[in-house]
């Protein structure tokens, strides 16, 4: 039964990650419930092993079906690996509690903005000034990547919103680009967790199979149903994340 729960959680996490990000909200609690004595760092590291496989497979599916500017994404991907690794290394020195209220406020703001602007990200890509595009890509590859290494919840959502607002892509293309960048952030954090010995390799690789299956389903559903579908899933994930972080703040 425990294995079945973890496999189902890994598949669900892969699906959520592929569409808008936030799969860690499914996978990490499942690991902590099945293995209550597992250290949080080990849960994070094992989740990253499964997540990087699922996210990479979703990114591959998006790149095959959509016209993404791979040359523009390549330096962002490299930055994401480096800064996520730095974030993971810093995580042990910075209490997550200092980030929680900031992230909670940002998520509430993002949710309200998307809900009150139904046209945002729903159409085709729009032209943005060069400075805006560079700012959006830099924000994704440096600031959000570092945050993913330190804490993580909402990374996919923040990537999609920053790319849509600053780079000018629609929700679907932003989700595709976010998957490529998120693969880099997962790799950077995974390298640090591996170096620290905080990964259960056999468990993580087993969960990766289910995560990849869920990610493929999510990627194909997002591509088939378009930006409107991504928008509604994003709003649903934001509501869940706000509830989870708010509950953590009240109970801690």
- Give tens-digit pLDDT for 198-248: 899 999 999 999 999 999 998 888 888 887 788 888 888 778 777 877 777
Residue 117 belongs to what domain range? 2-251
Q: What's the whole-number mean pLDDT along residues 171-188? A: 91
Regarding predicted confidence, which is higher, 184 or 241? 184
pLDDT at 230: 81
Q: Distance of alpha carbon 244 from its chain centroid, rounded?
A: 16
Q: How confident is the model at residue 188 (pLDDT cuts 50, 70, 90)?
A: very high
Q: What's the whole-number mean pLDDT along residues 4-31? A: 85
Spatial separation of the C-alpha atoms in residues 187 and 48, rounded to whole Å: 8
Give me the numbers of helices (H) and strands (E) for the chain, helices first please: 11, 0
Residues 80-111 have pLDDT tens digits of 999 999 988 887 676 656 666 777 787 788 77
pLDDT at 249: 73
Residue 22 has what DSSP assignment?
Answer: -
Residues 23-69 have pLDDT tens digits of 877 888 888 888 888 887 888 889 899 999 999 999 888 888 887 88
Longest dimension (CA), the chain: 53
Residues 117-171 have pLDDT tens digits of 777 666 666 778 889 989 999 999 999 999 888 877 778 888 988 998 898 888 8
Tell me how many domains the chain contains: 1
Spatial separation of the C-alpha atoms in residues 140 and 163, rounded to whole Å: 8
Q: How confident is the model at residue 252 (pLDDT cuts 50, 70, 90)?
A: low
pLDDT at 149: 84
Q: Please give the model's pTM, rounded to 2 decimal places.
A: 0.84
pLDDT at 96: 58
Percentage of residues in the chain having pLDDT higher than 70: 93
**DSSP per-residue codes, 120-178:** TTTSS-----HHHHHHHHHIIIIIIHHHHHHT-TTHHHHHHHHIIIII---HHHHHHHH
pLDDT at 190: 92
pLDDT at 66: 81
3-state secondary structure 172-236: HHHHHHHHHHHHHHHHHHHHHHHHHCCCCHHHHHHHHHHHHHHHHHHHHHHHHHCHHHHHHHHHH
């Amino acid at each position: 039964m425990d294995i079945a729960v973890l496999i189902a959680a890994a598949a669900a996490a892969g699906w959520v990650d592929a569409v808008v990000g936030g799969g860690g909200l499914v996978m990490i609690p499942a690991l902590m419930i099945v293995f209550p004595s597992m250290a949080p760092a080990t849960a994070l590291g094992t989740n990253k092993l499964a997540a990087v496989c699922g996210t990479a497979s979703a990114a591959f599916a998006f790149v095959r079906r959509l016209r993404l500017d791979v040359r523009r994404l390549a330096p962002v991907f490299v930055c994401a690996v480096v800064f996520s690794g730095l974030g993971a290394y810093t995580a042990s020195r910075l209490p997550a509690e200092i980030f929680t209220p900031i992230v909670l406020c940002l998520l509430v703001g993002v949710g309200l903005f998307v809900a009150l602007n139904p046209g945002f990200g729903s159409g085709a890509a729009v032209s943005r000034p060069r400075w805006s595009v560079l700012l959006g890509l830099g924000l994704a590859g440096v600031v959000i990547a570092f945050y993913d290494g330190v804490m993580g919840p909402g990374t996919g959502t923040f990537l999609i919103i920053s790319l849509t607002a600053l780079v000018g892509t629609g929700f679907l293309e932003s989700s595709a680009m976010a998957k490529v960048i998120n693969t880099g952030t997962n790799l950077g954090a995974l390298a640090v967790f591996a170096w620290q010995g905080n990964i259960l390799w056999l468990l993580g690789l087993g969960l990766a199979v289910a995560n990849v299956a869920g990610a493929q389903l999510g990627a194909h559903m997002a591509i088939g149903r378009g930006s409107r579908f991504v928008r509604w899933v994003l709003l649903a994930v934001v509501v869940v994340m706000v509830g989870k972080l708010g509950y953590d703040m009240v109970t801690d």
